[in-house]
Amino acid sequence: MADSRAAANIGVVGMAVMGSNLARNLASREGNTVAVFNRSPERTRTLVGEHPEAGFVATESYDEFVASLAKPRTAVIMVQAGKGTDAVISELVSRFEPGDIIVDGGNANFLDTIRREKEISPSGIHFVGAGISGGEEGALKGPSIMPGGSAESYETLGPILSSIAAIAEGEPCVTHVGTDGAGHFVKMVHNGIEYADMQLIAEAYDLIRQGTGKSPAEIADIFAEWNTGELESYLIEITAEVLRQTDAATGQPLVDVILDQAGAKGTGAWTVQNALDLGVPVSGIAEAVFARSLSSRPAQRAAARDLPGPSGDWRPDDEDAFVEDVRRALYASKIIAYSQGFDEIVAGAEQFGWEIKKGDIAKIWRAGCIIRARFLNRIADAYSDDPELVVLVSAPYFRDAVAGTQDSWRRVVAAAAYAGIPTPAFSSSLAYYDGLRAPRLPAALVQGQRDFFGAHTYKRVDKPGVFHTLWSGDRTEIETSPSSH
């Protein structure tokens, strides 16, 4: 099918919703000719038939697809993550030449991206793992793009990706994140933060609904109002839309007829699994993942339905003040979610040898992606003021923001406990904050316990060295390794 005279400067493999929208986005930019290919040719035929304006070079075999690309060839894979991606990579690698570029734009696990890059790079072909956020609309109109790969491949790829990315304050939402799996790693953390943000918003809704008895439509108005201030974000905006929706069949608010069991595609769990491996406490993100798991265990929930709740009936004294407390608690908890996410990015960069510029990541999340928010400018500023910032919440702006909201935050978490309203993300974020700022933690007692039952030893606050108490003997202390250790 391909016109042999047509040399496409870029190709896309995978014509499901993401790939076809990305191909249309690419084709709409000046100077691009886009070759398209899908395993089952019907999808390609439909797309090309529906969008003659795109001038696609339609192909129906890998040979034809590869032959239609100008050298050095650049192909973006947008197929089912995992086996689908591996299958397409092997077809392209066997036909590509040194200097050609393969971009995986799917939701790959970054460890797979590291493996694939290792396998492919000896051939001289560049492999780029690019996280793409924004769903189908983002792919079409401008996503946030997080590419990882060689600096050399980014010289070719950067201008193309910049031309299709979302624009925030005049800047394209794409940056060279780092080598091999860095882009997919950052996309994974983005999704983890997205889980936390969504859970926090859901808890805020639940607190207001149960605490004040306001209707979903009234709460939609509150969220719309919040969206004009420091909480302004895509997720707050769409929350208002969802809460305002009425179900056509029953006349009920739609949120009341949606089954309360949240699904997940796994990237939140990856974020938490990886944080556990790295030893990074992403408690807000973890609670958001677990909250979805709890919601999706109907047998356990049914078995627990009759368990006792609080004996008293809690109601706020002043509803307006309570709603404002919830807004502030949401902002403080959101700061913690992002602080924890960036903590994981820093730890991942250290572990895998990436030089990730945190401020640039905050900037490319300002538009195109699901967690886009006004607040990301503040994060970019914080890292630009202090590139070595150790923990985001300690930056002056965020420290002041939490200082101004923490009394509300504490009241809300206490109220939730009194009222029996589950707020795992609000509560764990506050516990994390208090743990982080504590001058002394009961970890000292945990070390004592570990030494008692397992002779795991401990360090002292007053002198160097490693020590053990002879718990089953005369309970004197011995030094177990030279103090120089």
In angstroms, the CA 52 to CA 47 distance is 9
Asked if residue 81 binds ligand NAP (CB under 6 A), the reply is yes
Least gap, CB of 100 to ligand NAP (angstroms)? 19
Least gap, CB of 153 to ligand NAP (angstroms)? 20
Least gap, CB of 41 to ligand NAP (angstroms)? 9
Is 195 assigned to a binding site?
yes
In angstroms, the CA 275 to CA 344 distance is 6
Residue 122, judged by CB atoms within 10 A of its CB (0-12, 13-18, 19+), counts as exposed
In angstroms, the CA 27 to CA 10 distance is 9
Task: Give the residue with the Cβ less far from ligand NAP, 88 or 186.
Answer: 88
Is 9 assigned to a binding site?
no
Among the candidate windows 16-24, 54-62, 343-351, 384-392, which touches ligand NAP by CB under 6 A?
16-24
In angstroms, the CA 271 to CA 279 distance is 12
Asked if residue 428 binds ligand NAP (CB under 6 A), the reply is no
Is 14 assigned to a binding site?
yes
Residue among 2, 190, 35, 9 nearest 107 (CA)? 190
Least gap, CB of 92 to ligand NAP (angstroms)? 11
Least gap, CB of 225 to ligand NAP (angstroms)? 29
Residue among 353, 340, 11, 339 nearest 181 (CA)? 353
Number of amino acids touching ligand NAP (CB under 6 A): 22
In angstroms, the CA 379 to CA 399 distance is 12
Identify the residue among 46, 80, 90, 300 touching ligand NAP (CB under 6 A). Answer: 80
Task: Give the residue with the Cβ less far from ligand NAP, 137 or 277.
Answer: 137
Which residues, in sequence order, are bridge partners of residue 174?
145
Identify the residue among 8, 10, 15, 174 touching ligand NAP (CB under 6 A). Answer: 15
Enumerate residues 107-166 that contact ligand NAP by CB under 6 A.
Answer: 107, 132, 135-136
Task: Give the residue with the Cβ less far from ligand NAP, 146 or 200.
Answer: 146
Q: Are 425 and 287 in contact (CB under 8 A)?
A: yes
Three-state secondary structure call for residue 13: strand
Task: Give the residue with the Cβ less far from ligand NAP, 88 or 356.
Answer: 88
Least gap, CB of 13 to ligand NAP (angstroms)? 7
Per-residue b/e over 250-281, b at no fewer than 16 CB within 10 Å?
Answer: eeebbbeeeeeebeeeebbbbbbebbeebebb
Identify the residue among 24, 100, 106, 201 touching ligand NAP (CB under 6 A). Answer: 106
Is 17 assigned to a binding site?
yes
Q: Are 60 and 40 in contact (CB under 8 A)?
A: no
In angstroms, the CA 429 to CA 335 distance is 9
Among the candidate windows 80-88, 163-171, 249-257, 325-333, which touches ligand NAP by CB under 6 A?
80-88
Residue among 440, 449, 472, 429 nearest 204 (CA)? 429
Catalytic residues: 187, 194
Alpha helices in 167-313 (DSSP H): 182-212, 216-226, 234-244, 254-257, 267-278, 283-295, 298-304
Asked if residue 201 binds ligand NAP (CB under 6 A), the reply is no
Enumerate residues 27-66 that contact ligand NAP by CB under 6 A.
Answer: 38-40, 43
Is 353 assigned to a binding site?
no
Task: Give the residue with the Cβ less far from ligand NAP, 91 or 203.
Answer: 91
HSE value, Cβ hemisphere, 13 Å, CA-based, for 70: 10
Asked if residue 267 binds ligand NAP (CB under 6 A), the reply is no
Does 72 sit behind a cis peptide bond, omega within 30 degrees of 0 on the bond before it?
yes
In angstroms, the CA 424 to CA 347 distance is 24
Question: Position of tokens 């201030």?
Answer: 229
Is 21 assigned to a binding site?
no
Asked if residue 18 binds ligand NAP (CB under 6 A), the reply is yes
Which residues, in sequence order, are bridge partners of residue 36?
12, 58
Identify the residue among 66, 88, 362, 376 touching ligand NAP (CB under 6 A). Answer: 88
Least gap, CB of 91 to ligand NAP (angstroms)? 8
Which residues define the annotated binding site?
14-19, 38-40, 79-81, 107, 133-135, 190-191, 195, 265, 292, 450, 456
Name the site residues for ligand NAP (rule: CB under 6 A): 14-19, 38-40, 43, 78-81, 84, 87-88, 106-107, 132, 135-136
Which residues define the annotated binding site for NADP(+)?
14-19, 38-40, 79-81, 107
